[in-house]
């Protein structure tokens, strides 16, 4: 109901979506959104690279752990000595 009327409990006009006055006037309390986005992007790239390296090392470890299969043919042909 307060949002529809645009007034707060004291009857003043409510500025919807704006921070309180003390946050707007105190620059020490504000965060730089560009820096937080840059930091989030850098952390995302770092985490993605670490996961890719970990996955690659895991695949290599699994392939090395697999025992070598014997190379025996399934079909063998007998060689007959024919006089040619």
DSSP 67: P
Query: pTM of the predicted model, to two decimals?
Result: 0.44
For residue range 24-70, list pLDDT tens digits in order: 565 565 666 777 889 999 999 999 999 999 999 999 999 888 788 88
Boundaries of every domain in the chain: 2-59
The pLDDT of residue 78: 85
Token pair of 54, please? 């970990």
Contact 8, 20 (CB under 8 A): no
| Burial call 26-64: b when 16+ CB within 10 Å, e when fewer | eeeeeeeeeeeeeeeeeeeeeeeeeeeeeeeeeeeeeee
The pLDDT of residue 59: 95
pLDDT at 20 exceeding the cut of 50: yes
Sequence-ordered list of residues with C-beta below 8 angstroms from that of 3, at least 6 positions apart, any chain: 14, 16
Q: In the structure, what pLDDT confidence band is assigned to residue 23 with cuts at 50, 70 and 90? A: low
């Amino acid at each position: 109901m307060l949002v529809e009327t645009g007034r707060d409990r004291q009857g003043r006009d409510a500025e919807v979506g704006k921070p309180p006055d003390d946050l707007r006037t105190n620059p020490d309390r504000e965060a730089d959104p560009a820096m937080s986005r840059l930091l989030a992007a850098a952390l995302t790239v770092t985490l993605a690279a670490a996961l890719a390296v970990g996955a690659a090392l895991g695949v290599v470890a699994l392939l090395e752990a697999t025992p070598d299969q014997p190379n025996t043919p399934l079909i063998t042909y007998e060689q007959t000595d024919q006089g040619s």
